[in-house]
Protein backbone atom coordinates (compact mmCIF):
# COMPACT_ATOMS: atom_id res chain seq x y z
CA UNK A 1 0.00 0.00 0.00
CA UNK A 2 1.42 3.36 -1.04
CA UNK A 3 1.41 6.79 0.59
CA UNK A 4 -1.20 9.18 -0.76
CA UNK A 5 -1.20 12.85 -1.59
CA UNK A 6 -3.59 15.10 -3.52
CA UNK A 7 -3.83 14.80 -7.29
CA UNK A 8 -4.08 18.60 -7.63
CA UNK A 9 -4.36 21.75 -5.53
CA UNK A 10 -7.78 23.02 -4.45
CA UNK A 11 -8.83 26.36 -3.07
CA UNK A 12 -11.65 27.30 -0.73
CA UNK A 13 -12.78 30.19 1.38
CA UNK A 14 -14.67 30.41 4.66
CA UNK A 15 -15.19 32.45 7.79
CA UNK A 16 -12.80 32.10 10.73
CA UNK A 17 -14.53 31.22 14.00
CA UNK A 18 -12.66 33.65 16.21
CA UNK A 19 -12.27 36.75 14.09
CA UNK A 20 -15.27 36.29 11.83
CA UNK A 21 -13.34 37.31 8.71
CA UNK A 22 -13.03 35.40 5.41
CA UNK A 23 -9.99 33.10 5.20
CA UNK A 24 -8.53 31.54 2.06
CA UNK A 25 -7.46 27.92 2.27
CA UNK A 26 -5.50 26.00 -0.35
CA UNK A 27 -4.72 22.29 -0.12
CA UNK A 28 -1.64 21.25 -2.10
CA UNK A 29 0.12 17.95 -2.90
CA UNK A 30 3.37 17.12 -1.07
CA UNK A 31 6.06 14.51 -1.65
CA UNK A 32 6.35 11.23 0.31
CA UNK A 33 7.27 11.31 4.03
CA UNK A 34 6.43 15.02 4.35
CA UNK A 35 3.35 14.53 6.54
CA UNK A 36 0.75 17.24 7.09
CA UNK A 37 2.24 20.73 6.94
CA UNK A 38 0.40 24.00 7.60
CA UNK A 39 1.72 27.16 5.99
CA UNK A 40 0.72 30.71 6.90
CA UNK A 41 1.22 32.66 3.70
CA UNK A 42 0.89 36.01 5.53
CA UNK A 43 3.85 35.14 7.81
CA UNK A 44 5.80 32.85 5.49
CA UNK A 45 5.83 30.31 8.35
CA UNK A 46 5.40 26.51 8.18
CA UNK A 47 4.16 24.31 11.00
CA UNK A 48 4.24 20.54 10.77
CA UNK A 49 1.19 18.95 12.40
CA UNK A 50 2.93 17.11 15.26
CA UNK A 51 2.36 17.23 19.04
CA UNK A 52 5.57 19.24 19.62
CA UNK A 53 4.09 22.14 17.65
CA UNK A 54 0.82 22.24 19.62
CA UNK A 55 0.78 25.36 21.81
CA UNK A 56 -2.84 25.49 22.99
CA UNK A 57 -5.75 23.05 23.37
CA UNK A 58 -8.25 25.07 25.34
CA UNK A 59 -10.95 25.77 22.76
CA UNK A 60 -9.42 24.08 19.74
CA UNK A 61 -6.13 22.47 18.75
CA UNK A 62 -3.61 25.22 17.94
CA UNK A 63 -0.19 24.91 16.27
CA UNK A 64 2.39 27.63 16.65
CA UNK A 65 5.61 29.13 17.97
CA UNK A 66 7.01 32.63 18.52
CA UNK A 67 6.32 33.55 14.89
CA UNK A 68 2.57 33.03 15.23
CA UNK A 69 -0.10 30.34 15.42
CA UNK A 70 -2.81 28.47 13.49
CA UNK A 71 -5.98 27.64 15.38
CA UNK A 72 -8.83 25.17 14.85
CA UNK A 73 -6.96 22.63 12.74
CA UNK A 74 -8.78 19.56 14.07
CA UNK A 75 -11.74 19.31 11.68
CA UNK A 76 -9.52 19.57 8.62
CA UNK A 77 -7.06 17.08 10.14
CA UNK A 78 -9.97 14.71 10.74
CA UNK A 79 -11.06 14.79 7.07
CA UNK A 80 -7.46 14.29 5.90
CA UNK A 81 -7.20 11.24 8.16
CA UNK A 82 -10.48 9.77 6.90
CA UNK A 83 -9.31 10.09 3.30
CA UNK A 84 -6.02 8.33 4.13
CA UNK A 85 -3.93 11.24 2.90
CA UNK A 86 -0.38 11.00 4.21
CA UNK A 87 1.17 14.13 2.72
CA UNK A 88 -0.52 17.49 2.20
CA UNK A 89 0.29 21.19 2.54
CA UNK A 90 -2.40 23.50 3.87
CA UNK A 91 -1.93 27.14 2.99
CA UNK A 92 -3.86 29.71 5.06
CA UNK A 93 -3.69 33.50 4.94
CA UNK A 94 -4.77 33.91 8.58
CA UNK A 95 -4.25 32.47 12.07
CA UNK A 96 -7.06 29.92 11.93
CA UNK A 97 -8.58 27.38 9.58
CA UNK A 98 -12.05 28.38 8.37
CA UNK A 99 -14.86 26.90 10.45
CA UNK A 100 -17.09 26.17 7.41
CA UNK A 101 -20.35 24.69 8.78
CA UNK A 102 -18.74 23.52 12.05
CA UNK A 103 -18.21 19.98 10.75
CA UNK A 104 -15.65 18.47 8.36
CA UNK A 105 -17.95 17.83 5.39
CA UNK A 106 -16.74 20.90 3.44
CA UNK A 107 -13.16 19.69 3.81
CA UNK A 108 -14.23 16.24 2.61
CA UNK A 109 -15.72 17.92 -0.46
CA UNK A 110 -12.47 19.81 -1.09
CA UNK A 111 -10.56 16.53 -0.86
CA UNK A 112 -13.02 14.92 -3.28
CA UNK A 113 -12.41 17.78 -5.69
CA UNK A 114 -8.61 17.44 -5.35
CA UNK A 115 -8.59 13.66 -5.76
CA UNK A 116 -5.75 11.48 -4.47
CA UNK A 117 -2.67 9.92 -6.09
CA UNK A 118 -0.26 7.28 -4.88
CA UNK A 119 3.35 8.21 -4.26
CA UNK A 120 6.23 5.85 -4.81
CA UNK A 121 6.73 5.05 -1.12
CA UNK A 122 5.05 2.52 1.21
CA UNK A 123 2.36 3.80 3.56
CA UNK A 124 3.42 3.85 7.20
CA UNK A 125 1.01 3.41 10.07
CA UNK A 126 1.27 3.44 13.84
CA UNK A 127 0.28 0.15 15.47
CA UNK A 128 -0.54 0.46 19.17
CA UNK A 129 1.29 -2.24 21.17
CA UNK A 130 0.24 -1.54 24.76
CA UNK A 131 -2.53 0.43 26.49
CA UNK A 132 -1.86 4.13 27.10
CA UNK A 133 -4.32 6.23 29.05
CA UNK A 134 -4.58 9.83 30.18
CA UNK A 135 -7.03 10.66 32.93
CA UNK A 136 -8.45 13.75 34.60
CA UNK A 137 -10.78 12.65 37.41
CA UNK A 138 -13.42 10.46 35.75
CA UNK A 139 -12.60 11.83 32.27
CA UNK A 140 -10.21 9.76 30.20
CA UNK A 141 -8.86 9.01 26.74
CA UNK A 142 -7.21 5.66 26.02
CA UNK A 143 -5.55 3.83 23.14
CA UNK A 144 -5.33 0.04 23.28
CA UNK A 145 -4.02 -2.66 20.91
CA UNK A 146 -6.67 -4.19 18.67
CA UNK A 147 -7.30 -6.26 15.57
CA UNK A 148 -10.12 -4.04 14.31
CA UNK A 149 -9.70 -0.39 15.21
CA UNK A 150 -12.75 1.44 16.45
CA UNK A 151 -13.63 4.42 18.56
CA UNK A 152 -15.90 4.10 21.54
CA UNK A 153 -16.89 7.48 22.90
CA UNK A 154 -19.21 8.51 25.72
CA UNK A 155 -20.12 12.02 26.77
CA UNK A 156 -22.25 13.01 29.72
CA UNK A 157 -23.46 16.54 30.22
CA UNK A 158 -25.57 17.87 33.04
CA UNK A 159 -27.90 19.27 30.40
CA UNK A 160 -31.26 17.91 29.38
CA UNK A 161 -30.66 18.42 25.65
CA UNK A 162 -27.35 16.51 25.45
CA UNK A 163 -27.44 14.17 28.48
CA UNK A 164 -25.47 10.95 28.03
CA UNK A 165 -24.56 9.71 24.55
CA UNK A 166 -22.36 6.83 23.39
CA UNK A 167 -21.22 6.09 19.85
CA UNK A 168 -19.17 3.24 18.46
CA UNK A 169 -17.31 4.04 15.24
CA UNK A 170 -15.62 1.50 12.99
CA UNK A 171 -12.97 2.96 10.73
CA UNK A 172 -13.68 3.35 7.04
CA UNK A 173 -13.88 6.38 4.80
CA UNK A 174 -17.47 5.52 3.86
CA UNK A 175 -18.55 5.18 7.48
CA UNK A 176 -16.82 8.47 8.33
CA UNK A 177 -18.55 10.39 5.53
CA UNK A 178 -21.96 8.91 6.31
CA UNK A 179 -21.90 9.13 10.09
CA UNK A 180 -19.24 11.51 11.37
CA UNK A 181 -18.26 14.18 8.84
CA UNK A 182 -21.54 16.14 9.06
CA UNK A 183 -21.61 16.30 12.87
CA UNK A 184 -21.18 19.94 13.91
CA UNK A 185 -19.38 21.55 16.79
CA UNK A 186 -21.54 22.71 19.69
CA UNK A 187 -21.57 25.25 22.47
CA UNK A 188 -23.71 26.53 25.30
CA UNK A 189 -25.53 29.83 25.01
CA UNK A 190 -24.01 31.17 28.24
CA UNK A 191 -20.47 30.43 26.95
CA UNK A 192 -21.21 32.02 23.56
CA UNK A 193 -22.15 35.25 25.33
CA UNK A 194 -19.02 35.13 27.49
CA UNK A 195 -16.78 34.58 24.43
CA UNK A 196 -18.43 37.45 22.57
CA UNK A 197 -17.72 39.71 25.55
CA UNK A 198 -14.02 38.78 25.25
CA UNK A 199 -14.08 39.50 21.50
CA UNK A 200 -13.72 35.77 20.74
CA UNK A 201 -15.89 33.53 18.56
CA UNK A 202 -16.94 36.56 16.50
CA UNK A 203 -17.49 34.27 13.51
CA UNK A 204 -19.55 31.82 15.56
CA UNK A 205 -23.20 31.63 14.56
CA UNK A 206 -26.04 29.18 14.16
CA UNK A 207 -24.58 28.58 10.66
CA UNK A 208 -21.53 26.82 12.15
CA UNK A 209 -22.32 25.85 15.75
CA UNK A 210 -25.11 23.97 17.47
CA UNK A 211 -26.07 26.29 20.30
CA UNK A 212 -27.74 24.74 23.33
CA UNK A 213 -29.34 26.34 26.37
CA UNK A 214 -30.79 24.53 29.40
CA UNK A 215 -33.72 22.98 27.62
CA UNK A 216 -33.48 23.43 23.85
CA UNK A 217 -31.43 23.74 20.69
CA UNK A 218 -31.45 27.26 19.28
CA UNK A 219 -30.74 26.26 15.67
CA UNK A 220 -34.06 26.38 13.81
CA UNK A 221 -33.12 23.38 11.62
CA UNK A 222 -32.47 21.19 14.69
CA UNK A 223 -29.93 18.35 14.73
CA UNK A 224 -28.47 16.37 11.83
CA UNK A 225 -28.30 13.24 14.03
CA UNK A 226 -30.02 12.74 17.37
CA UNK A 227 -26.56 12.01 18.86
CA UNK A 228 -24.73 14.66 16.80
CA UNK A 229 -22.83 15.84 19.91
CA UNK A 230 -20.94 12.59 20.56
CA UNK A 231 -20.40 12.10 16.82
CA UNK A 232 -18.68 15.48 16.71
CA UNK A 233 -16.43 14.46 19.61
CA UNK A 234 -15.35 11.48 17.49
CA UNK A 235 -14.67 13.81 14.55
CA UNK A 236 -12.45 15.89 16.87
CA UNK A 237 -10.66 12.85 18.30
CA UNK A 238 -9.81 11.54 14.83
CA UNK A 239 -8.36 14.97 13.98
CA UNK A 240 -6.36 15.19 17.18
CA UNK A 241 -4.92 11.67 16.83
CA UNK A 242 -3.72 12.57 13.32
CA UNK A 243 -1.06 14.70 15.05
CA UNK A 244 0.71 11.43 15.88
CA UNK A 245 2.02 11.67 12.30
CA UNK A 246 0.50 8.39 11.14
CA UNK A 247 -2.90 6.84 11.02
CA UNK A 248 -3.32 4.80 14.16
CA UNK A 249 -4.15 1.11 14.30
CA UNK A 250 -5.63 0.81 17.79
CA UNK A 251 -8.89 1.23 19.67
CA UNK A 252 -9.55 4.69 21.02
CA UNK A 253 -11.87 4.83 24.01
CA UNK A 254 -12.98 7.97 25.80
CA UNK A 255 -15.30 9.25 28.46
CA UNK A 256 -15.71 13.04 28.30
CA UNK A 257 -12.48 13.56 26.38
CA UNK A 258 -11.17 16.89 25.13
CA UNK A 259 -8.55 18.40 22.84
CA UNK A 260 -6.40 18.79 25.92
CA UNK A 261 -6.58 15.11 26.92
CA UNK A 262 -6.06 14.01 23.31
CA UNK A 263 -2.94 16.14 23.11
CA UNK A 264 -1.56 14.64 26.34
CA UNK A 265 -2.35 11.18 24.97
CA UNK A 266 -0.35 11.78 21.76
CA UNK A 267 2.61 12.94 23.86
CA UNK A 268 2.36 9.90 26.18
CA UNK A 269 2.31 7.52 23.23
CA UNK A 270 5.33 9.10 21.53
CA UNK A 271 7.27 9.13 24.83
CA UNK A 272 6.98 5.36 25.25
CA UNK A 273 8.78 3.46 22.48
CA UNK A 274 7.14 0.20 23.64
CA UNK A 275 3.66 1.68 23.17
CA UNK A 276 3.76 1.60 19.39
CA UNK A 277 5.44 0.35 16.27
CA UNK A 278 5.66 2.18 12.96
CA UNK A 279 4.74 -0.43 10.33
CA UNK A 280 5.52 0.00 6.66
CA UNK A 281 2.68 -1.49 4.59
CA UNK A 282 4.36 -3.78 2.06
CA UNK A 283 2.77 -6.57 0.05
CA UNK A 284 3.59 -9.14 2.77
CA UNK A 285 1.66 -7.46 5.57
CA UNK A 286 -0.81 -5.07 3.99
CA UNK A 287 -3.70 -7.58 3.98
CA UNK A 288 -3.98 -7.35 7.77
CA UNK A 289 -4.58 -3.60 7.60
CA UNK A 290 -6.44 -3.34 4.31
CA UNK A 291 -9.92 -3.07 5.78
CA UNK A 292 -9.05 0.05 7.72
CA UNK A 293 -6.52 1.80 5.50
CA UNK A 294 -7.56 0.91 1.94
Interacting residues with Zn ion (CB under 5 A): 185, 236
Report in angstroms how near the CB of residue 171 gets to Zn ion at its nearest.
Answer: 19
Q: Are the C-beta atoms of 149 and 248 separated by less than 8 Å? A: yes
C-beta of 87 vs 104, nearer to Zn ion: 104
Per DSSP, which regions of 157-225 are E strands? 164-170, 186-188, 210-212
> Is 236 labeled as ligand-binding?
yes
Report in angstroms how near the CB of residue 180 gets to Zn ion at its nearest.
Answer: 11
Report in angstroms how near the CB of residue 74 gets to Zn ion at its nearest.
Answer: 6
**Distance (Å, whole) CA 31 – CA 50:** 17
**Distance (Å, whole) CA 19 – CA 199:** 8
Among 18, 259, 260, 263, the active-site one is: 259
Q: How crowded is residue 191: how many other Cβ atoms within 10 Å of its Cβ? A: 14
> Is 232 labeled as ligand-binding?
yes
74-82 and 105-114 helices, crossing angle to 10°: 50
3-class SS of residue 266: helix
C-beta of 237 vs 275, nearer to Zn ion: 237
**Distance (Å, whole) CA 279 – CA 249:** 10
Is 259 tagged catalytic? yes
C-beta of 75 vs 89, nearer to Zn ion: 75
Report in angstroms how near the CB of residue 204 gets to Zn ion at its nearest.
Answer: 12
> Where in the sequence numbering do the catalytic residues fall?
259
Annotated binding site: 75, 232, 236
Annotated binding site for Zn(2+): 75, 232, 236
Amino acid sequence: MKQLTLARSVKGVGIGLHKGEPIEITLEPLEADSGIVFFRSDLNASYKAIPENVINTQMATVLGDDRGFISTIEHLMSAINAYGIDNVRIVLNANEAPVMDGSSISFCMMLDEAGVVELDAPKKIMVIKKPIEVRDGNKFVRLIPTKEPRINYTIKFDNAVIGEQTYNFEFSKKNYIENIARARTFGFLKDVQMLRDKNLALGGSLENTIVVDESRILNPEGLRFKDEFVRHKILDAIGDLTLLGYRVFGDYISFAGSHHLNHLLTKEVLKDKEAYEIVSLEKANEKAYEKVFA
